A and B are shown apart, each in its own frame.
Chain A
Amino acid sequence: MNFEFGLYVFMLAAFLGFELIRKVSPLLHTPLMSLTNAIASISVVGAILISGEEHVSTLSRVLGFIAVVAATTNLVSGYLITDRMLKMFKKKEPSRK
């Protein structure tokens, strides 16, 4: 019944996601999207598992490798640009005369 357990985990996480995201101010919707986009690159876990297996066909190895590259690109650029954007949000008027 592992599948059923998985569905419960999914259901709880989805509701939690809804509640958390609803509280995010529209001001931050773009950084929020890049952050969740970066979190979706968690698929790198699956990619590593495929690429690291001992006995896999060359095709699977190549697919796994491309997947690692693609997921890492998503991951690295997603987190970096989110931080770059957030750095720009300032509350106080910067004092420059």
Chain B
Amino acid sequence: MTPFGLLYLAAAALFILALKWMSSPATARRGVFAGEFGMFLAIVGTLMRHEVVNYEWIIAGLLLGAVIGVPLALFMPMTHVPQRTAISQACGALASALIGTAEFLRLHPSGFMMAALGVEMLLGYLTFTASMMAFGKLQELLPSRPVTYRGQNLVNLAIFLVAAAIVGALVLDPTKTALFPIFIALAMMFGIQLILPIGGADMPTVIALLNSYAGLSACAMGFALDNKLLIIAGALDGSSGFILSIIMCRAMNRSFTNVLFGAFGQVHAGSAATEAKPVRSASPEEAAAILEDARSVVIIPGYGMAVAQAQHKIRELHDALVKRGVDVRFAIHPVAGRMPGHMNVLLAEADVPYDKLVEMEDINPEMGMTDVALIVGANDIVNPAAKNDPASPIAGMPIIEAAKARTVMIIKRGMSAGFAGIDNELYYMPNTLMLFGDAKAFTAGLVKELAGGH
């Protein structure tokens, strides 16, 4: 075994330990360190290989990458974590696509190696454009609503099949290089097409899925270069992204194909028939008075909290209520926000202790004994239609059963429907109070009332 082979072996073991230690918050930071050290060993091992003779370009590339990467990590506000993940994913996928391209141009391989490079480039290029599109939508540079047209799935399928057919042709006859640029264009186009019909609520699933593709692309590179470390690291990432997207799908009671091929945003004509029903609204003073008298409060955050950057004010509200002896907990729906675990990170940033964050399955049995359910910028994840209306587009999606609480308070900017375009009957229930306003401003109002009350 070569010295670099030993370092690669150690790196693979460290990546496995990194994932193992991620299982609990107590050891998670050790996991990151293991991952960093593993990557360091992999790079050192590679630099030691005798094929590597030119160092200038490598050093320049490593330095430039670090110069771009450090500010991207340190100055990105936590609310922008989904965007950062998307752009970082785009970088990783681009790297793997370009390496595949360079190898192809250099070796003009055929047979198995070409097949591996083909998979690497296909996944690499499509993940690159798809991640850039996801970034654009999350950053609101692009319209975040789903874009659909007739025959969309057919077009996508055709693009994919032609791209795959070109790989097949190159496997059989590597001299057909004229097809190669067409292949790259198709792969990139497919990535764009893949994200067009994706709306905000599907982002967690899609980001996780792209993560998986990026990993599988690295894995395919491992097959092409006959490098086991790449295969292992890529497979770990591939399975991680895959399992997360399955968890997300399950949390919305939707199948994979449904997320990718059935845009959610199409408003169902039947459910759009809303007459003006009366709602009860309340001022910060009234709401604060009710919160003060409560024994238990469950706060249910959604993407609106991230948009309004309200997490710090929410934490102040939590503090003020805890000081008065109120039991305050947070109910976290698996798909709340724009990426898996989004709400947990934001609340952690605001210094909410993580043992106060309760998962949906654990909080639901207790919702009936809760005095106040305070919903901040969430809509579909608390919509009772998911349980009661089989015709609803979100039918069967597990929800946090806010409706069972004695009083339901909903901080919301206006009466507009949620992402899925469905009305929420929760708003019209007799025990519901609508708190109209910006999430951050309204919460600040509540905190002020609670502070000045006594």
Contact = CB atoms under 8 A, between A and B. Distances in A.
Interface of A: 2-3, 6, 9-10, 13-18, 20-54, 56-57, 59-61, 63-94
A77 B70 CA distance: 6
Nearest to B62: A72
Contact of A25 (B24, B207, B211): B24
Residue from B69, B78, B237, B342 with most neighbouring chain A CB atoms (10 Å): B69
21 contacts: A2-B226, A17-B19, A28-B341, A28-B344, A31-B32, A32-B22, A33-B339, A37-B211, A38-B35, A42-B230, A45-B230, A47-B95, A50-B103, A60-B102, A65-B60, A69-B65, A72-B65, A73-B66, A73-B88, A74-B69, A82-B35
B201 interface: no
A77 B64 CA distance: 12
A89 B27 CA distance: 11
Interface of B: 15-16, 18-20, 22-25, 28-29, 31-32, 35-36, 38-39, 42-43, 46-47, 49, 51-55, 57-58, 60-62, 64-66, 68-70, 72-74, 76, 78, 81, 84-85, 88-89, 91-92, 94-96, 98-99, 101-103, 105-106, 112, 207-208, 211, 214-215, 217-219, 221-223, 225-241, 243-244, 247, 332, 334, 339-342, 344-345, 348-349, 351, 353-355, 357, 359
A71 B36 contact: no
A18 to B, nearest CB: 5
A45 B95 contact: no
A49 B23 contact: no
A6 B19 contact: no
Nearest to B248: A29
Contact of A76 (B65, B98, B221, B334): B65
A30 to B, nearest CB: 4
Contacts of A24: 19, 22-23
Contact of A72 (B22, B61, B207): B61
Given A16-B16, A33-B207, A90-B348, A43 B78 contact: no
A43 B99 contact: yes
Nearest to B82: A30
A17 B102 contact: no
A77 B334 contact: no
B222 A89 contact: no
Contacts of A66: 61, 94-95, 98
B233 A85 contact: no
Given A32-B340, A67-B61, 17 more contacts: A9-B232, A17-B236, A20-B22, A29-B247, A33-B211, A33-B341, A37-B214, A40-B233, A40-B237, A48-B58, A50-B103, A59-B105, A65-B61, A78-B69, A79-B73, A82-B35, A83-B29
